[in-house]
Structure 1
Amino acid sequence: MSTPDRPLDARAALRTASRRLGEEFDGTFSTETIELFLETSFDQFAGNATVTTFLPLLAERFARQRLHALARVEGKTGDGRPTVLFLCVHNAGRSQMALGWFTHLAGDRAVAWSGGSEPGSQVNPSAVAAMAEVGIDISREFPKPWTEEIVRAADVVVTMGCGDACPLFPGTRYEDWDLEDPAGQDVDAVRPIRDDIRTRVEALLASLDVPATA
C-alpha cells in the first residue's frame, strides 16, 4: 500500500487495515479497490482532524461501510434488509441520534448509516449524554461525510437541515425531517429533540415493515 507522505505508524496501521479488509472482501473487490477506498477515507478524515491517533481506525471503519455500500449498488451482495441513510450538516447530533435509535429499535432487521455535508470534529457531547440516558451508546460514533456509493445504496435517505447540500439521486425515497439543531444546546434542550427523533424513527420502521423492539 503506497502511503509515503504519511507518518510511519499510520502507514503500518493502514497496511494492517488493508489486510483485514482484503480478507473480509475477498472475492468481492480487488486489492486496488480496497486500498483506494481506504486511502481516500483516511484523507477525508485527515483534513480536519485535531487528534490523529485514531485516523487509521476511523478510515478502516468508513472504508468498510463504503465497500459494503458499493457491493450493494453493484449487486454483489444483498440480504433483503432495507437500508436507511440519515444526513444532516455536521453528522454530530440529529443524524447520530437517529442512527442510534434506528439501530436500537431495528436490531439486525435493517441497516442504517449516517453522514454530513460538512462533518464536524466530534459527536455532540449533549447528544451522547441524552442518548445514554435511554440506554443507547453513541460515544463511539464519529462524524463522517456522505459518499456517492453510500447514498446510492440507501433505500431511504432522511435529511435534516442540510438543504441543497444534501445529495439527490433519482429513484431514491427521500424524507426531510424538520428538527431543531442540538448544536450548542445542553442536555435539557436536547431531550425533546431526542424523543422527537424516536417517534419519527418508529414511524419510518413501520413504513418499511420492520418491527421495532420495544
Structure 2
Amino acid sequence: MSEKVFNVLFLCTGNSARSVMSEGLLSVLGKGRFRTFSAGSKPNGRVNPHAIALLNEIGYDTSGLRSKSWTEFEGPDAPQMDIIITVCGNAAGEVCPMWPGHPATAHWGYEDPHGTTEAEERASFVKIFAQIKRRVEFLVSLPDSKLEHLALKTSLDEIGARPA
C-alpha cells in the first residue's frame, strides 16, 4: 500500500447531506488511505439529521460535522486537495474556485434525498447512502497505479458513470 494519503473534497451546494455522507463513507471505508472533507458553494448551515444518523451507524465521528463553505479550502493554509468530487448537479454546474495543485476532478451525481413523510425521507437517505457507498467502494479498491494523477481522472470518471 502507498504511503501517500490522498486529500479528497466532496462538494455539493448545501453541504448538508450527500457531500457529508460521501466524506464519512470514504473516511471509514478508506481506512486511512484518504483524508476526507466536504463543503458547499452555498452551505445551508446545518447537517441533515438523517445523514448524521447513517454516519453514526458506520462508526464515523460526527461530533465535528458542520455545513461549511468551500471558501474554507481556498486559502494558503488549507490542505491541498488531490481529488475533488461534486455530488449534486448544482455544484457540478457552478464555477468552482481554482484549486491549488490542479487536483483530479469528477462528478458523481446523486438525487437529492427527500420525502413527504419522515419514513419516506429516511428511506430516501438510506437509498442515496447505499449509492454513495458503492462508488466509494470502487474508489478504495483502486490500486495505487490508478490513483496517480493522470490515471486517476479516468478512474474517477468511470466510477461516476457507473449506476449508483
Using structure 2 for the length normalisation, give the TM-score: 0.69
Q: Is this contact kept in 1: 2:16–2:47, CA < 8 A?
A: yes
Select the residue among 200, 209, 212 that pairs with 2:135. Answer: 200
CA distance in 2, matches of 1:140, 1:181: 23
Does 2:27 align with 1:92?
Answer: no
Q: Which residue of 2 aligns with 1:109?
A: 33
Q: Which residue of 2 aligns with 1:179?
A: 110
Q: Is this contact kept in 2: 1:159–1:166, CA < 8 A?
A: no
Q: Is this contact kept in 1: 2:24–2:36, CA < 8 A?
A: no
Change (3 A) 1:183 1:115: farther
CA distance in 2, matches of 1:123, 1:183: 14
Stretches of structure 1 that go unaligned for 5 or more consecutive residues are 1-78
Deviations 1:113-153 (A, max 9, x none): 11100011110112122333444343530011113248881
Does 2:96 align with 1:166?
Answer: yes
Q: Which residue of 2 aligns with 1:157?
A: 84
Amino acid corresponding to residue 178 of structure 1 in structure 2: G
Change (3 A) 1:126 1:119: same
Deviations 1:172-203 (A, max 9, x none): 21110110112567211110100110111111
Q: Which residue of 1 aligns with 2:45?
A: 121
Deviations 1:53-83 (A, max 9, x none): xxxxxxxxxxxxxxxxxxxxxxxxxx73111
CA distance in 2, matches of 1:134, 1:172: 28
Using structure 1 for the length normalisation, give the TM-score: 0.54
Q: Which residue of 1 aligns with 2:151?
A: none
Superposition pairs for residues 4-15 of structure 1, below 5 Å? none
RMSD over aligned Cα atoms = 2.6
Amino acid corresponding to residue 43 of structure 2 in structure 1: P
Change (3 A) 1:206 1:151: farther
Amino acid corresponding to residue 138 of structure 2 in structure 1: A
Report the structure number with the largest CA radius of gyration: 1
Deviation at 1:96, TM superposition (A): 0.4
Amino acid corresponding to residue 202 of structure 1 in structure 2: E
Report how many residues are paired.
132
Deviation at 1:208, TM superposition (A): 6.0
2:50 is paired with a residue of what secondary structure? helix
Superposition pairs for residues 41-52 of structure 1, below 5 Å? none
Q: Is this contact kept in 2: 1:151–1:167, CA < 8 A?
A: no
